Structure 1
């Protein structure tokens, strides 16, 4: 008999979350029960005891989780960790709450770099000036501009997003400083970066990613 996975991926769809081969693999390995769009609490009261996995981020108060004797993991499809489930109970009972942040880290890192270059070179401001027929050229158009090259960069946190940013930032600057209270300084140093205090980061770094 196949293990049961409850599918409740709103606001995403299964086709957006999984590639076709992976979705087919999921369907072959598990019996999927799809949550309705309405009367969800009643659905979970009647079905959560059957589930080994939940794909989604539904409201899961303690009284529901207490019924979930088989539950091994909740796969949060937005990685936003809403305050809608009893995380302490999950931790105590060994129910993993899994984020999909590695999936989003690269596209978010790329757009963060794009925003950085736009801010430093005033691209967005120049575009607005052009729309308003007030564009400036030469020196006048670059008075607010600055280079990312050789800047002192600070990463406030070194999780999936920070790790995705590093290879994009290295061509611009080797001065990458990291503050992350959850990672030992020795580990940061071993990866070739400089650990820094939060106070020092805001005082010394010229570009900071939060």
Structure 2
């Protein structure tokens, strides 16, 4: 088996590609590593796909378009060390009936855990209390009580793999969850008797917490705009660890500056967040540098190599991305 790994300097990246994983991959056949510091250009990728059986992609790999696939007559599997394959796969790839798999299932629990940490730290004022104590203060127990997740109403904008995992984490908190996702049915929520489908307006208007899980597509760009932000109840917490462009950032700044709602953000329309961005000066927002799923990195390549091992043995693949799911995934070609 001839394998191409597109990610720059992958085999020297011990965090993303531990040496044991490198050894496992190399035991499966000849591996062509991208040992440069740069992503392969479209022409380089096209040339190096000639004779390749398995292409292992990563963040930043060019789309496997009709042009790029021109010399890829032997290609039988694309395995993506990452979550969304929307900017990697292509209709041409699916037209050729080449299976596409990803490590999205690995990322989801860590992202869900990150979202829960943002909710709990925001509700319990962890950052504010830490800063106050370090300033020599001792906030009075008789002061304003902190909020609690127990018994809260949570609104999901989108569901997806991360949302399903977050529902499992939320269950012990005796929450009520309203889910807006036009692509799911009631059966998708059957395992969670505390969660129900709802329209977007109801999901936003009745929530103590709103968590964004939608993919970034033309339909969801700035979905949470001025009017929808205004519909959030006073005191609502908006959490976004999906994609920054789903929320109109300028409108969010305006709403946060009123002090009426708060937010916890892990993603932004421009990343890194510009130094002069007004979000940096707002007190009622917790900011993270797109790290909600960060602990998963050491597990991604392991999961993908396991999938390549299944392919090599002729066993059924467990984490393929069907075409219909690919078409609904986040598009990174939209403004970030």
Name the TM-score, length of structure 2 as normaliser.
0.54
More helix by share: 1
Residue pairs, 1:5-24, within 5 angstroms: 5-10=3-8, 15-17=14-16, 23-24=22-23
1:75–1:99 contact (8 Å) kept in structure 2: yes
Q: What CA distance in whole angstroms lies between the structure 1 residues aligned with 2:117 and 2:89?
A: 37
Structure 1 27/12 Cα, relative in aligned 2: closer, same or farther at 3 Å?
closer
Structure 1 match to 2:128: 125
1:112 to 111, 115, 119: 115
1:75 aligns with 2:82: no
2:46–2:67 contact (8 Å) kept in structure 1: no
Structure 2 match to 1:152: 153
Offset at residue 124 of structure 1 (A): 0.9
Partner deviation per Cα, 1:166-200 (whole Å, 9 max, x = no partner): 22211112412222222222332355331112221
SS of residue in 2 equivalent to 1:138: coil
Structure 1 73/163 Cα, relative in aligned 2: closer, same or farther at 3 Å?
same
1:194 aligns with 2:196: yes
If asked which structure has higher relative contact order (CA below 8 Å, sep 6+), I would say 2
1:7–1:55 contact (8 Å) kept in structure 2: yes
What is the aligned residue count?
Answer: 205
Offset at residue 22 of structure 1 (A): 5.3
SS of residue in 1 equivalent to 2:49: helix
Q: What CA distance in whole angstroms lies between the structure 1 residues aligned with 2:10 and 2:161?
A: 21
Structure 1 98/169 Cα, relative in aligned 2: closer, same or farther at 3 Å?
same
Question: Where does structure 1 lack aligned partners over 5 or more consecutive residues?
Answer: none
Q: What CA distance in whole angstroms lies between the structure 2 residues aligned with 1:180 and 1:39?
A: 35
Offset at residue 108 of structure 1 (A): 1.9
Structure 1 94/43 Cα, relative in aligned 2: closer, same or farther at 3 Å?
same
Structure 1 66/135 Cα, relative in aligned 2: closer, same or farther at 3 Å?
farther
SS of residue in 2 equivalent to 1:137: coil
Q: What CA distance in whole angstroms lies between the structure 2 residues aligned with 1:101 and 1:130?
A: 39
Q: What CA distance in whole angstroms lies between the structure 2 residues aligned with 1:105 and 1:81?
A: 14
Name the TM-score, length of structure 1 as normaliser.
0.81
Structure 2 match to 1:162: 163
Question: Where does structure 2 lack aligned partners over 5 or more consecutive residues?
Answer: 213-336
Residue pairs, 1:27-66, within 5 angstroms: 27-37=26-36, 38=38, 40-41=40-41, 43-57=44-58, 58-60=61-63, 61-66=65-70
1:121–1:147 contact (8 Å) kept in structure 2: yes
Partner deviation per Cα, 1:5-26 (whole Å, 9 max, x = no partner): 1012348657545666655443
Q: What CA distance in whole angstroms lies between the structure 2 residues aligned with 1:43 and 1:22?
A: 25
SS of residue in 2 equivalent to 1:62: coil
